[in-house]
Structure 1
Amino acid sequence: MTVSLRGTREVRKNYQIFRLAGLLDAFSEPTFRKVIGNFIDEGPYHAILVLSQIDFIDSSGLGALVQLVKKAQTAGGSLQIVTNARVTQTVKLVRLEKFLSLQPSVEAAIENIEK
């Protein structure tokens, strides 16, 4: 059995950073959405998803990202997404780049939270 998505979590003062690698697809999406959603519920409510090591994202993964953005916003936080070219291209195909708050780096995402 292979694990298609791996990651780490780091909590800082008013935000948390998730660094993910692998595939964000229909197989990994239910666990991804549940785990990240639970951490957003626990707080801090601002979250940064670092997807620069994601090899593939499909419509299930995009749907989970949309749900997680809404969850963070409902809690009074935000979800910033640091991407790579492949993820950015997929997101732009469905015109979600503004809604998903794509960022070029973790530093840019942190700046966006601290505005």
Structure 2
Amino acid sequence: MPEQLTLTVSLRGTRQVESNYQIFRLTGLLDAFSESTLRNVIGKCIDEGPPDIILDLSKIDFVDSSGLGALVQLVKKAKTSDGSLQVVTNPRVTQTVKLVRLEQFLSLQDSLAVAEEKFKGK
């Protein structure tokens, strides 16, 4: 059962913990106003484990450079904890990520099913 996350007025989400990974489904805006809260909340969840993370951003309406910075920091935190981070995206998010050439680093995936496959049997 997904757990509601308290983020910001403009960014909402849920957390679902599977046996060897976590799924975060986010909606709203990933911007300068929400990035700090996002980093803190998901960073704490990475510490609690498991450190393999799927960020489902398919319902995100907008992401700015601050939001991208938060994603980069979360990838690094997951790697430091011997995990990894997959990002499920939508065309708006993909376009922003590609503008700054981070699509490889952020491990963009087209669907939640594809992202989950990366962690099956790990």
2:76 is the alignment partner of 1:92: no
Q: TM-score, normalised by structure 1?
A: 0.96
Name structure 1 gaps, 5 residues minimum.
Answer: none
* Residue 45 (structure 2) aligned to one of 35, 39, 42: 39
Report the residue type matching 1:5 in the other structure: L
CA deviation profile, 1:34-84 (whole Å, cap 9, x unmatched): 001100111000000000010000000000000000000110000000000
Report the counterpart of residue 20 of structure 1 in structure 2.
Answer: 26
Secondary structure in 2 matching 1:13: coil
Q: How many residues align?
A: 114
Secondary structure in 1 matching 2:74: helix
Structure 1: which 4+ aligned runs deviate by more than 2 Å? none
On the 8 A contact 1:56/1:87 being kept in 2, the answer is yes
Report the residue type matching 1:4 in the other structure: S
Q: How far did 1:111 drift? A: 1.1
The separation in 2 between residues aligned to 1:59 and 1:113, in whole angstroms, is 28
CA RMSD of aligned residues (A): 1.0
Report the residue type matching 1:32 in the other structure: L
On the 8 A contact 1:56/1:86 being kept in 2, the answer is yes
Secondary structure in 2 matching 1:21: strand
Report the counterpart of residue 109 of structure 1 in structure 2.
Answer: 115
Q: How far did 1:113 drift? A: 2.1
The separation in 2 between residues aligned to 1:55 and 1:66, in whole angstroms, is 19
